[in-house]
Amino acid sequence: MKTVHGTAVARGGRGVLILGASGVGKSGLALALMALGADLVADDAVQISAQGGEVTLSCPVAIRGMIEARGVGLLTVNFVDKAKLAFVVNLDETAEERLPAPRVAPYFGVDVPLISGKNTPALASVLWCLLGGGQLMPTE
């Protein structure tokens, strides 16, 4: 197991790991997804582990069920104990093309679809669709 600086939310057991520098909007994106119906997995510190070829997201006990709302404070919210990692979003990266080629991030030997999230229009809506069972299509 390893712990990363990030935020994770889930829908129906499928999770998205949101990465980026402090203050870039990880918690804000998570809150937008939660407003659509997602559940919090973890905010600020996400535990990532693998078993049987599946990568799982979870939360350290000390911060379970809490998320920071910048300028408001810490909130207690509904949460899930774990979720299968379905997508990774990096809020520090901008997609250079309108329809970028699919990319992956390796976690414990599993390639997970990677999305460049900086300046991506309707990102919360895109992630909501993907977490609901959507897939990234090849652009070739």
Catalytic residue list: 5, 26, 44, 98
Determine the number of helices (DSSP H) and then strands (DSSP E) in the chain.
2, 9
User: What is each CA distance from 119 to 36, 115, 122, 135, in whole angstroms?
Assistant: 20, 12, 9, 21
Query: Half-sphere exposure (CA, 13 Å, Cβ side) for 36?
Result: 21
Q: Which two tokens stand for residue 111?
A: 């390639």
What is the C-alpha separation between 28 and 34, in angstroms, rounded? 10
